[in-house]
Structure 1
Amino acid sequence: MHRLTIEVITAMCAWAISAVGQSVSTGRLCPQGGPYNMIELVKKLSPAARIYCPGTEEFEEASIRWSVLEEPKVNVIVVPGTVDDVAETVKFANQRKLPFLAYNGAHGAVTTLGKMDHGIEILMHQLSSVEIAKDGKTAKVGGGTMSKTVTDTLWEAGKQTGKLMITVTGACECVSLLGPGLGGGHGWLQGHYGLIADQFVSMDIVMADGSRTIIDKTSSLWWAMKGAGHNFGIVTAVTTKIYDIKHRDWAIETLVFGGDKVEAVYQAANDHFLTNKTQPVDVIHWSYWLNNLDANPNKPVIIFYVIQEGVKAVDTVYTKPFHDIGPLSAEAVGGSYTDLAEWTDISTSAPPCQKAGLANPRFPIYLELYNVTAQRKAYDLFASAARGSSTFSRSVFMFEGYSMQGVQGIDPESTAFAFRDANLLVAPLITYLPADSDLDKRAAKLGEQLRQILYEGSGRKELRAYINYSYGDETLQQWYGNEKWRQDRLQALKRKYDPEGKFSFYAPIA
């Protein structure tokens, strides 16, 4: 059997703690003996490292994921205290032919993770740090650092020096910098600077054989790490570009519409933000479809955000077309960059960031424009499935309309991220309390139907999916680009750097 029972592992845990308790604190050691023989690994780990086993509160907390659909299964959790701890854990796993998987925010919900049915979790949280270079142009960020930590650290450092600094992170506060960054990584500042991955200057990586290396643009692997990086190594630190903040002020206007306004809202978005690429670099539009009993107890509402940088209130030239449609409500707020996540309900304390035992599959698609006929058809299907007290009532349909100048200004052939010409990142998020495989199939069918409606409305020959939101049944072409040269290059690099497929659980190339 690949997996030991929880009872056996817990018993072995207790034995090992008593046997070597002189050097390892209680709760930090997992079993000696059996196929894992963890005592051999313990000897090579730093004093700061921790090892958790089933049956302990530490294990249960460290293995919780944001989406419980097709979760990876692990028998032991190693929490490295140093980069060498990561390398030693990978070597240990290889010696015993055990799968391993690095965890960060644990917000990846792709179902391919479920192919890991036993093995070692490498929890990266202790490798959290932000070191600003003396010249103020780069920062070295630990592999386990959350996006909020990066933003807050740079912001606080800037306040002390009088020179505020920032870098591109994911929009959601509760994910790591590197989790989304290795898949490209969208964020509020991408209109100015490009994707998260476009900021990377160098990476410290533990490779599939447990060796450590530092790579930069001179490495053949560099191209792949910026868009398909989950397939090639564990990044223990990244040096990333940082920038002087151009504007301290940001503002948002939140408009709420009933479902009867679908066509009008998204036609206005096309006309004023997307057609002929008219969305300015300092303006972002976002929207959600979700249930809001206060606004409408019967059907999901449209929550539409217009966000602007460098102002205390959003310019009416961007909001008037939406006011003219007749929103149910409108609210304008001003603040700073650090308020954006809270304004858009994706801060660390917001419901979407909580690990509540729910299944959260997403079904992403990149678009250039909104097809208003398809938007209506998708809304009607979503409303019929998610309204009121239905099984999928917690679900959200997300429409992310970032400014794209910085992303599209970078050579599309320079990174493994392939979809720089898209203007919109769209995804239904089908949220539900898991019950059985039939319910999982119903959720998948709904998500796929919604995505298919938008795909057919796009007029594109191929569907393109953001891997950080992907469901798991997409093709390699849909994840990494339809061009043959892209697929050939990725396959060749996989054979060179991970020939045994050690990194093949997250949107795998092979």
Structure 2
Amino acid sequence: MRWSTIAVAALATVAQAHPGHHHPSGPPKGPACDWTDFWKLGNQLSKDAEIYLPESTEWTSVSQRWSNVGTPTVNITILPANENDVVEIVKMAQRCDIPFLAYNGVHGAITTLKDMTWGIAINIRKLSSVNIAPNGQTVTIGGGTNSKVVIDTLWAAGKQTVTGTCECVSYMGPALGGGHGWLQGHHGLISDQWTSLRIVLADGSVKTVSPTGPHSDLWWAMRGAGHNFGIVTQVTAKIYPIQHTNWAIQTLMFTGDKVQQLYQTANDVFLPTNGSAQPVDIINWSYWMNVPPVDPTGPVMEFYIIQEGVTAVDPAYVAPFEALGPVASTPNTGTYRDVSAWVGINMDGPPCQKTGAANPRFPVYLERYNVTAQQQVYDAFKAITNSSGPFANSLFLFEGYSMQGVHAQNASGSAFAWREDNLLTAPLITYMPDPANPVLHEQARLAGDQLRQILKGGSGRSELHAYVNYAYGDEQVGDWYGHDSWRLTRLANLKNKYDPEGRFSFYAPAA
């Protein structure tokens, strides 16, 4: 067990103090516990586990967040080194009535996390492993493993599976909310690949969950609402031989006067009718962002056409967009491992850096682009992100994956509810928090919600479909997990069965 120097000093002092004493930076004592219980816990954890207090010099490296709005208050951070460490931490927290929050990677950005006003952060990044089964058909992945580690390890073995698109996020975080990925057109969501998982529940018990085992009811919930039920220490997932070594991209940049033409063309080429799905080997993405050297008057639109199995994107897809007169049109070729870098979400990309900024998102799923709404939301985004305001570095994300593998799954077979939607969109309102301007967070919320409501209105739906992994935090439960009453009832019943005290209720609580 590794203690930070400050933790050793604080806990050693407290261990000799009267039971009501606790270090000012640490958790208040629970009904039956005080700081001596943390000393005892430390002696129960494995030699490679670590404990840090806010005064520790290592605190930033173990606790820094990607988005700093609506963040939890953490008084102590513990890094378990194995599953039993997780068990011991959860049991102690349960016994002492101390809130806790498990995380890895960039920690999510949902504002419901602010409801943790004190407690323990369980950083599970040491639970990192990728073990391919001897038959080459499955892989067992540790709960703290980074997505890039999974991709690279499998690639070296001639294998791949669906992971998140962003290299710096954990494998497990996106998967608990369903999980979109570059390969989903072939195989479905990240969580659709699972064959079993191990989970530490709120009482500290460890369960193996699978489609047919004794906890098969929980299997349904974990694939889409998994943040609500426990800490996944490992998962076994299907893997596949690498189908295509070559991938290609065409990057086209447009100025704001081409909004309607661009997205009408995207509909015509990729989603010609309601209910259609774009070709399985094609992905379309776009970003809106301010690039003053290209256009000082407003955001530019960077549009990506990504195709697998080729060394250049098929001209039949590229030509209609080049006919619109882009500012630039640039091809590139490589492998699957290059795709995230091409769209700027690799380990070194700006979205993967922890700068102290706030990065709330406001997601809405769509079936197709409504070109009138695209124009309206562009105009609003332009006004919100003007260079003289605090939100000038914001992005607007439009993610158009191939969906065949997602549609092929039983729509009622998991807690992920939005399998029929083709497009994932979200403004990302980026700004630096300013203690001297406390209304900035509310201004960002209003701005993001304004943009989302325009797209929702253009969808023709009265209900919001929101990707829980991008959620802001003020959405309704049905917006995250589906508006069908049977879905919400099933989730509530499972929550009551497996987490009746609501220990896992800080990330998009289901009940």
Q: For residues 304 and 32 of structure 1, do their structure 2 counterparts lie closer, same or farther at Cα, with a shift above 3 Å needed?
A: closer
User: Counterpart of 1:285 in 2: which secondary structure?
Assistant: strand
Alignment-derived partner of residue 492 in structure 2: 491
TM-score (norm 1): 0.93
Query: CA–CA distance in 1 between the matches of 2:7 and 2:122?
Result: 20
> Of 196, 205, 211, which aligns to 2:199?
205
TM-score (norm 2): 0.93
Alignment-derived partner of residue 503 in structure 2: 502
Q: For residues 308 and 165 of structure 1, do their structure 2 counterparts lie closer, same or farther at Cα, with a shift above 3 Å needed?
A: same
Alignment-derived partner of residue 244 in structure 1: 241
Contact 1:130/1:140 (<8 A) preserved: yes
Deviations 1:64-103 (A, max 9, x none): 1100001111111110011000000000111111001101
Q: What is the aligned-residue RMSD (CA, Å)?
A: 1.7
Query: CA–CA distance in 2 between the matches of 1:225 and 1:172?
Result: 21
Q: For residues 307 and 32 of structure 1, do their structure 2 counterparts lie closer, same or farther at Cα, with a shift above 3 Å needed?
A: closer
Alignment-derived partner of residue 321 in structure 2: 322
What displacement does 1:214 show? 0.8
Structure 2 letter corresponding to 1:288:
Y
**Mapping for residues 220-259 of structure 1, pairs under 5 Å:** 220-259=217-256
What displacement does 1:278 show? 5.1
Contact 1:282/1:403 (<8 A) preserved: yes
Alignment-derived partner of residue 354 in structure 2: 355
Alignment-derived partner of residue 307 in structure 1: 306
Alignment-derived partner of residue 5 in structure 1: none
> Of 14, 20, 34, which aligns to 2:9?
14
Deviations 1:154-190 (A, max 9, x none): 112x2xxxxx110100000010111000000000000
Alignment-derived partner of residue 394 in structure 2: 395
Query: CA–CA distance in 2 between the matches of 1:212 and 1:364?
Result: 34
Alignment-derived partner of residue 274 in structure 1: 271
Structure 1 letter corresponding to 2:448:
G
Alignment-derived partner of residue 142 in structure 2: 142
What displacement does 1:145 show? 0.3
Alignment-derived partner of residue 18 in structure 2: none
Segments of 5+ residues of structure 1 without an aligned counterpart are 1-8, 21-29, 159-163
Query: CA–CA distance in 1 between the matches of 2:28 and 2:68?
Result: 30
Contact 1:253/1:305 (<8 A) preserved: yes
Contact 2:7/2:51 (<8 A) preserved: no
Contact 1:253/1:333 (<8 A) preserved: yes
What displacement does 1:13 show? 3.8
Contact 1:10/1:53 (<8 A) preserved: no
Contact 1:272/1:278 (<8 A) preserved: no
What displacement does 1:59 show? 1.7
Alignment-derived partner of residue 19 in structure 2: none
Contact 1:262/1:375 (<8 A) preserved: yes
Contact 2:7/2:53 (<8 A) preserved: no
Deviations 1:218-273 (A, max 9, x none): 21100000000000010000001111111100000000000000000000000110
Contact 2:27/2:75 (<8 A) preserved: no
Alignment-derived partner of residue 75 in structure 1: 75
Alignment-derived partner of residue 293 in structure 1: 292
Query: CA–CA distance in 2 between the matches of 1:409 and 1:416?
Result: 15
Alignment-derived partner of residue 474 in structure 1: 475
**Mapping for residues 41-440 of structure 1, pairs under 5 Å:** 41-156=41-156, 158=157, 164-218=158-212, 219-276=216-273, 277=276, 279-435=278-434, 436-440=437-441
Query: CA–CA distance in 2 between the matches of 1:378 and 1:278?
Result: 24
What displacement does 1:298 show? 2.3
Contact 2:288/2:302 (<8 A) preserved: yes
User: Counterpart of 2:272 in 1: which secondary structure?
Assistant: helix
